[in-house]
Amino acid sequence: MTRTTPERPADVEALFPELSGHRRTGTRLHPRKGFAEPHQSSVAGPFLWPADEPWPVCRAVHEKGRGHLLTDVRLRRRIRDEAWRRDPRRGPSGKEAEVLDGLRESGLHVPELRTADPIPLLAAVQLFTRDVPDLIGPSGHDLLQVLWCPFEAHGPDRTMDVMLTWRRSEEVTEILTAIPEPTVVGRAECVPEPCVLDPEQVVEHESIELLSEESRQRIEAWEEELLDAAEERGTEREAGEEYELSYQGDLSIPPGWKVGGFATWGLTGPARIDCSCGSPMRPLLTVSDREWDGGSLSWVPLEDRETMRTAGASDPTGVYVGRGLMRVFTCPVDPSHPHRLNFQ
Ligand SMILES: [Zn+2]
Ligand SMILES: [Zn+2]
């Protein structure tokens, strides 16, 4: 299945020619629940990981035995998804509700696990450069594997910790099949659901806060004109059926998981992320809590239009980190320089 972003509702560079200087491509990943093969791009694996290479672990000092059992997180989601599939308007059946009630809450599940003990990282996303045109890594490497520790407990800001591995896929001959997993996760929303990907390259334009004052004023004036025109027409708006066109919501940056493109700065305002070598870094991977919301409906792919409002349609990965957005920034001068994370 392919995923197709609808044509933008207005030609932003025709309206504001200076924006051609603020254009970048990004690749929307379009994760959808499903099971991939190790030789395919996916969320949550299975990874093309060499059988003779140790699986990465988190050795950071933090509580590791307290949280949710990974098996419970998956069972809870499976029951919820099955109930939604049967009838999105009704909850789980009586028997399913009993199973859910029996699941253990967040708590101390593995008391013997000490704070400095290693725990396996979770396979988060693997991407082949052949699928993702904006994926640029160290020369000759065609596969990016992203793993993370499922505890928001690292560093002074107590965030997730993410590891990037670049490899040459042709060098992986024997594949690791028994992938180790942590028993306990800090938050259920740190666990990605298995998803297949349908990458699609799109054109983005810089976030409005980062445009010149003059551009911003012209864009805001244009948005007001649109509003006035809509009021004159006396358009009747049915809830959720129609919404105002805006630069930020429709013409700038698409929602959802993606590679490359620009970063949005809704929570903190624009920030500059610099590499240890001094270069301004770029967002390599954006991990988002949803593929669309009420303010970004024009980005919903054509193939999802009919089902866009069904339960669970907009958050196939189940991931919610930070306040909904995590970006992995890398160095454009040398992609092997250490990455940085930014949360919104
Ligand atoms: Zn950790
Ligand atoms: Zn650098």
Q: Are residues 150 and 289 in the same domain?
A: no
Note if the pTM is more than 0.85: yes
Per-residue pLDDT at 91: 83
Q: What is the reported pLDDT for 103?
A: 86
Taking the centre of ligand 1 as the mean of its atom positions, its distance from the CA of residue 340, in whole angstroms, is 16
Q: 197, 229, 254 — which closes off a domain?
A: 197
The answer to whether 39 and 274 have CB atoms below 8 angstroms apart is: no
Question: Are residues 25 and 55 located together in one domain of the fold?
Answer: no
CA of 195 to the centre of ligand 1 (A): 23
Check: CB of residue 136 under 8 Å from CB of residue 164: no
CA of 153 from ligand 1 middle (Å) equals: 7
Across the 344 residues of the chain, what is the mean pLDDT of every consecutive 10-residue run? 94 97 98 97 97 98 97 95 87 90 89 97 98 95 98 95 98 97 97 98 97 97 89 61 80 98 93 96 98 93 94 95 96 95 95
Taking phi over 0 as left and psi of -120 to 50 as alpha, with beta for the rest, 267 belongs to: alpha
Instruction: Tell me what pLDDT residue 240 has.
Output: 43
pLDDT of residue 239: 45
- Output the CA 97–ligand 2 centroid distance in Å: 51
Residues 143 and 174 in one domain: yes
Contacts of 289 (CB under 8 A, 6+ apart): 189, 315, 319, 320, 321, 324, 325
- Residues 229 and 330 reside in one and the same domain: yes
% of the chain beyond a pLDDT of 90: 86
Its domain, for residue 108, covers 31-197
